[in-house]
Structure 1
Amino acid sequence: MSRVQLSGRLTSGNDRNIKSLVAFFPLAELGSYVDTINVCSGLEIFFQAARNANNKKKVLDIEQDIKSEILNGGLITPLALTVVIGGKVELQRTRHFWDIVYDSSEAFVIGNLLTYNATLNLLGIKAPLFSSRLTSSELKKDSVCRQQLAVEDVMLTILFDEEGVDDTRMRELFFKHQRRNPELHLTQFSNKNSFPLQETIRQLSAELCLPSYGGVSDKAKHVRGTEKFITTEYILFKVIVGAVAGEKLQEYAKMSDDVSLEGGTLVSTAFQTTYKPYIEAFFKAWLEPIYSGSELARGGFRLSAQIWQALSLVVHELVSKGAGVELVEGAGAKLGQLDYSKQASHWQNCDVMGLDSNGRLFKSAVKSTREFKRGLKDYFLDCIPES
């Protein structure tokens, strides 16, 4: 725990729980008061979405602006960042100011992230969105700029609750800032901390008993093998859209959209009125080997987003052909018995799979994820002769 004390002016908050304190200090001290290394777990999925070409170009432009100002006599206006403290905070009144005492490892920048990223890059510090290691010659070349920038003041607006701010509240504050200061281009998300299909996804998660398999992550797009989760909200979004609407809409639909079919029917409505029993029956049967407790069954390609999405396209294909719930459930059971380990020999029969350079593990043998999903769907359908 790294407890720090910071003095500033206490300002009125936008609700009775959240307070804000404004403080100024040299940029060189920023790492003492906020966590510049890690991303708040509740915001990780949004940081992933922000790592795109549009934001990267903006960061490079901001770097050039800051560098130009510094080399021409200093910043015209102080750099301003918004920070949220996740943990508990002690608030103390002094003669002229207020002091807050908190753990700096629980303080995260959520506002003016592109400027924050650009500033860290210029200071030679690893940044949360886009970062590259500077060579010794680059460090030497920009040393004057870096030294001058380090003594410039930064203005922090620190948002906190003395009892702490949980991940849900952190996301609300993050999106409130984005609505008022729309700097970030977020793929898959609009300036909202929820999305139209979220309730449908949570309903499907409950029906499939996914919490018993490790749960559904709302913090990342994909599952890492080291995590307990079986899937993510993002993957389930793609599963629902794929099963209901097919490949094309699955590929292009964004989580922030009210996704609808060609006739105008919402995907959420079609799920409830038609597709729900098919999707649930298929994936319950497919997940059964994992429920038996086999660690091997959970590993390999079972966690792959592309596998889940391809399976949902199998459901769409079967339903489109008029298959009943029992046949769809049988298909899920049959595909659930496949060996999803990366060295399973049956993958050699899949046109879009190939061995790695060591000739040991199978991986995608095609250039695009869209082609990979389509090939997986075709292979899975071939594994169900009665389809």
Structure 2
Amino acid sequence: MPKVQLSGKLTSHNDSNIKSLVAFLPLIELSSYVDTINVHNGLEIFFQAAKNANNKKKVSEIEQDIKAEVAKGGLISPLALTVVISGGVQLQNKRNSSSVIYDSEGAYVVGNLLTYNAILNLLGVKAPLFSSRLSSSELEKNSICRQQLAVEDVVITILFDEQGIESERVRELFFKYQRRNPELHLTQFSGKDSFPLQDSIRQLSLDLDLPNYGGVSGKAKHVRSSEKYVTTEYILFKVIVGSVAGERLQEYAKMSDEVSLEDGTAAIAAFQNTYRPYIEAFFKGWLDPIYKGAEQARGGFRLSAQIWQALSLVIHELVSRGAGVALLESAGSKLGQLDYSKQASHWKNCAVMDLDSNGRLFKSAVKSTREFRRGLKEYFLSYITES
């Protein structure tokens, strides 16, 4: 990785390990000192959560502000970013300044992310949250603004530990910044790097032996077929909430919430005291036949968040009807023997599924994911009854 050296003022700090250095850079040099391409792996799930309409609108507004100021002769005040260096750092102290030597590929922007995104968009650089390809005419139209902006200064506050910063600490620093500068709207998190049901999710993962099936990702909301993971913490959160509380709360509950049922019972208590054996029995029954053919297990709808959430609504419905643990395991096993490939002909019996325009693959036939999950739940329940 490329080593870079940045000089600035070492500021006071209260943390015994984390130090901070403030430096000025022309924006044209920014990509030489921070990784503008990748996201720190411990922050991926939060960057995914930040990709929403509220933040996109804010980025657009910031872009317009910056363009208007630059057009009038320059920025009123320098733009500012906060950067965390995850790797080790060599610190050199001089009489009037300090320097840090580090690998630029381990330096990530964690503060003022929306401004950062706006800057990169205006400079024509791919951004971590919202990027759009500009046409040649748009590039030409913005070329003067881009050239003027490139020579403007940006204030960078570098956070570092000479021994390096572990992933959990990076997450902590990220959320510390968001609490103090709450510009970023995160759809599932409210200034926290952990959440109330996290221990229950990890417990469920171990009870279902999910590490043996590929593990649970804490990096993103959904799983890609190219990854090793079988599911994510986000999906298991929705599974637990759907199982103990049903469709409505599953739709609206956020991971950072202290989720409670309508009668005031905490979702954690409902899971631990009532629903845990039902959820475990059902998914053990479902996972076993699904993953016997491991080479095909990652295809089709098997990794779909909507499928997992719909299955949790089946659990809620069966428990509400008075079904026992043995029946839940049997129901899971029956549904586990379904063909989850997108070509499977049985999907024609599911009211919310339809063939694509080529008539080859099945897909959702409804507009909302909530309606899709409800339809899948009804189809799964009918299949259990009929088979």
TM over 0.5: yes
Identity %: 77
Q: What are the Cα deviations for residues 352-383 of structure 1, in whole angstroms up to 9, with x where unaligned?
A: 11122222221111111111111111111111
Q: Is the counterpart of residue 44 in structure 1 residue 44 in structure 2? A: yes
Which residue of structure 1 aligns with residue 384 of structure 2? 384
| CA displacement at 1:6 relative to structure 2 | 1.2
- On the 8 A contact 1:355/1:362 being kept in 2, the answer is yes
Letter in 2 for 1:254: K
Which residue of structure 2 aligns with residue 169 of structure 1? 169
Partners of 2:2 and 2:49 lie apart in 1 by: 30
1:34-183 → structure 2 map (5 Å cutoff): 34-183=34-183
| CA displacement at 1:293 relative to structure 2 | 5.5
Partners of 2:61 and 2:379 lie apart in 1 by: 46
Letter in 2 for 1:371: E
Root-mean-square deviation over aligned CA pairs: 1.4
Q: What are the Cα deviations for residues 319-369 of structure 1, in whole angstroms up to 9, with x where unaligned?
A: 000001000110011111111111112112111111222222211111111
TM-score by length of 2: 0.97
What secondary structure sits across from 1:68 in the alignment? Answer: helix
- On the 8 A contact 2:310/2:373 being kept in 1, the answer is yes
- On the 8 A contact 1:111/1:177 being kept in 2, the answer is yes
Letter in 2 for 1:73: G
Structure 1 runs of 4+ with >6 Å offset = none
Partners of 1:17 and 1:207 lie apart in 2 by: 37
Letter in 2 for 1:176: K
- How many residues matched? 387
Which residue of structure 2 aligns with residue 369 of structure 1? 369
Q: Which runs of 5+ in 2 are unaligned?
A: none
Q: Is the counterpart of residue 278 in structure 1 residue 281 in structure 2? A: no
| CA displacement at 1:13 relative to structure 2 | 3.0
What secondary structure sits across from 2:43 in the alignment? Answer: helix
TM-score by length of 1: 0.97
Letter in 1 for 2:365: A
Q: Which runs of 5+ in 1 are unaligned?
A: none
| CA displacement at 1:226 relative to structure 2 | 0.5
Letter in 1 for 2:62: I
Which stretch of the first structure deviates more once superposed, 159-168 or 368-377?
159-168
Which stretch of the first structure deviates more once superposed, 84-93 or 374-383?
84-93
- On the 8 A contact 2:5/2:101 being kept in 1, the answer is yes
What secondary structure sits across from 2:302 in the alignment? Answer: helix
Partners of 2:297 and 2:113 lie apart in 1 by: 40
Partners of 1:346 and 1:290 lie apart in 2 by: 16
| CA displacement at 1:95 relative to structure 2 | 4.4
Which residue of structure 2 aligns with residue 262 of structure 1? 262
- On the 8 A contact 1:3/1:102 being kept in 2, the answer is yes
Which residue of structure 2 aligns with residue 238 of structure 1? 238
Letter in 2 for 1:368: S
Which residue of structure 2 aligns with residue 353 of structure 1? 353
- On the 8 A contact 2:290/2:337 being kept in 1, the answer is no
Which residue of structure 1 aligns with residue 15 of structure 2? 15
